[in-house]
Chains A and B, each alone.
Chain A
Amino acid sequence: MSPTALQTEAAARAPAWRGRLLPFVLFGLLAVAPPLAGQGGGYVLTLLEQVMIFAIAALGLDLIVGFGGLVSFGHAAFIGLGAYAAGILAFHGLGDTALALPAAILLSASFAAATGLICLRTRGVYFIMITLAFGQMAFFTASSLAPYGGDDGLTLRMRSPVFGFDLFGNERIFYYATFVAALGIYLFCRAAIASRFGRVLRGAKENPTRMTALGYEVFRYQLAAYVISGAIGGVAGFFIANATNFVSPAYMSWQRSGELIVMLVLGGIGTLDGAVLGAAAYILLSEYLSQLTEHWAMIFGPLLVAVVMFARGGLIGAFRRIGWRA
């Protein structure tokens, strides 16, 4: 028997979870990081919190980009809105998680609903640009909020209490709260993709005309996906405001939106695993390179070009090619 036949047969007999090794590895590593980092591992935890927060946002983005074919270039606005919801409530002494997290989700979701109604009239590049336009509007609105710091942003006195208890003040508890949120949203996205809703969404990406002919109102499904994606961005915003104790318009800049897309493409679009992997690779790699040299961008830039030229389908694609069943 040839080796490939052996492999195929082994794969066929392997239990279903074997085909999805990567998420177990990724989330497993994130779960055991705090004990491994030890007592003085605050720096590592902060870095990994960033990874998980951006993974949350990238998962939301993957939902519409990878499965809906809708490339949003204003996605940072949802993160920023979520962060501002948490920040402004905290500023007025109403920062409890029980209030701030739903508020962050609601604000981002409503913004997504309102702008989605308009954006989804356009297609392709025009969709990219109109989402950018709304992202920029959110950015400039935030910078004009003089009572809340305007351009300079708003510093939070403490992390959001949980029903009055300052649980998130403990770095590990906050770390695991972020972890649970990231894992929960990963599983939610998996379920959404596998559901009937997800199938319609994917169908609309492949061929909107045919889906319409089959009797589905494509627009509604896309709008729903856009709103869900925005809401997930709001969750990321709540966590980033708490992780940094700081909220600023910079969270909504178009560069941030661009970074999210880069993370997604780097990891591999339309796989969900790629969103997590890409966020981790982007943040850890840029952190590592920036410690090596001040001019890290001169290494990172060509690396991105190389990924596109030689590793089609991002890191996930590269893994698949060397025989991983990622």
Chain B
Amino acid sequence: MSLLLLIVQTLNGLQFGVLLFLIAAGLTLVFGVMDFINLAHGVQYMLGAYFAVMFYALTGSFVLALLLALGASLVFGLALEFTIFRKLYERDHLEQVIATFGIILFLNEGVKVAFGASPLSLPVPEALSGSVVLMPGLLYPVWRIVIIAAGLAVAAILYVLVGWTRVGMLVRAGASNARMVSALGVDIRRLFMLVFGFGTMLAGFAGIMIAPLLSVQPGMGDTVLILAFVVIVIGGIGSIRGAFIAALLIGLVDTLGRSFAVDILRLVMAPSPARTVGPAIASMLIYLLMALVLYVRPAGLFPAKGRG
């Protein structure tokens, strides 16, 4: 366990956390404002990545692919909202779960039909493909730094949007009491649609940004979806600030746990059991963390005012 490795893994954890934030931000808003459990949010992330691959193949330019994929994610999300989700807001959570689960099934299979079952890849843009020397002996890929920077930038934009604009005020009010907001004369449907479209675009953005690092394949959104739910529950549903802190926490805990669990366990047990138990404990860490947080604070770290 060297200092260098620790720094690299911390940066990786940060990058993972930022990615989770991009996905969780939309999820927590949709959930907080509309009280709508959208399992299909993870599929939006997957679609973002697929759109990017598709548009890159068409245009050959990463920037164009990014912009087109963002637009496509937004349009697709709004289309889903308009045709299906709109009719589900009034239903109970379980019905929302099964309907959006059906959409996951359909779209996971749909991309298999459209793009094939084998994983696709997206090259890192030429100018950002190298590594930089952060300190003597420490090379770090530029693209990961770009992801971290982009995520932090989105967090800053969201902070301003939600905290300091009129729309943001309505969103916060909606998360506390959507009915009251509606009664005060705000067109809640339009607000819902806006929040929803923005949320799906962020999830799509996360998929586009991560596509050069991961293989793009059907079902890639499913694991991320569960992690995003963990994030919003730890952070407190409806809270962007909570989602941000929880996402970084989960990203760091998960990444550092996976790289150092075996080494740490070796301090207290024999090497061979440490090697088998270590990975299991590492995978469990975030769930342990969630159970602990919910035990101490049953409504998450930063519950939206007036909720839970």
Contact = CB atoms under 8 A, between A and B. Distances in A.
Interface of A: 65, 71, 118, 121-126, 128-130, 132-134, 136-137, 140-141, 143-144, 146, 150, 254-255, 258, 261-262, 264-266, 269, 295-298, 300-305, 307-309, 312
A134 B284 CA distance: 9
Interface string B113-136: 100000000000000000000000
B263 interface: no
A300 B102 contact: yes
B300 A301 contact: no
Given A122-B294, A144-B280, A129 B98 contact: no
Contact of A261 (B98, B99, B294): B98
A72 B145 CA distance: 39
Interface stretch (B7-15, B104-112, B193-201, B204-212): B104-112
A150 B277 CA distance: 10
B87 A309 contact: yes
Given A300-B102, A304-B102, A305-B84, A71 B94 contact: yes
B290 A130 contact: yes
30 contacts: A71-B93, A121-B294, A122-B298, A123-B298, A123-B308, A125-B31, A126-B233, A126-B308, A129-B229, A129-B294, A130-B290, A130-B294, A134-B291, A136-B287, A140-B280, A140-B283, A141-B280, A150-B276, A262-B97, A262-B98, A265-B94, A265-B97, A265-B98, A296-B109, A298-B106, A305-B84, A305-B103, A309-B84, A309-B87, A309-B99
B280 A121 contact: no
Nearest to A122: B298
Contact of B284 (A141, A150, A262, A297): A141
Contacts of A262: 97-98, 101
Nearest to B105: A301
A128 B280 CA distance: 22
A295 B233 contact: no
Contacts, number: 133
A219 to B, nearest CB: 13
Taking residues whose C-beta sits less than 8 angstroms from the other chain, chain B's interface range is: 35 or more
Contacts of B105: 297-298, 300-301, 304
B46 interface: no
A297 B108 contact: yes
B195 to A, nearest CB: 18
A309 B103 CA distance: 13
B69 interface: no
Contact of B98 (A122, A132, A133, A304): A304
A295 B112 contact: yes
Contacts of A123: 298, 308
Contacts of A269: 94
A123 to B, nearest CB: 7
B284 to A, nearest CB: 5
A121 B99 contact: no
Contacts of A254: 226
Given A140-B284, A298-B106, A129 B101 contact: no
A258 B101 contact: yes
Contact of B102 (A71, A137, A305): A305
Given A129-B230, A140-B287, A309-B87, 7 more contacts: A126-B299, A132-B287, A133-B287, A134-B287, A136-B287, A301-B102, A308-B98
A266 B226 contact: no
Contacts of B300: 126
B295 interface: yes
Contacts of B308: 123-124, 126
A228 B88 CA distance: 32
A298 B243 CA distance: 33
A307 B98 contact: yes
A301 B106 contact: yes
A303 B290 contact: no
B102 A144 contact: no
Nearest to B108: A297
B279 A144 contact: yes
Given A144-B277, A301-B106, A133 B99 contact: no
Interface in B282-308: 283-284, 287-288, 290-291, 294-295, 298-300, 308
B102 A302 contact: yes
A303 B37 contact: no
B109 A298 contact: yes
B24 to A, nearest CB: 13
A146 B274 CA distance: 11
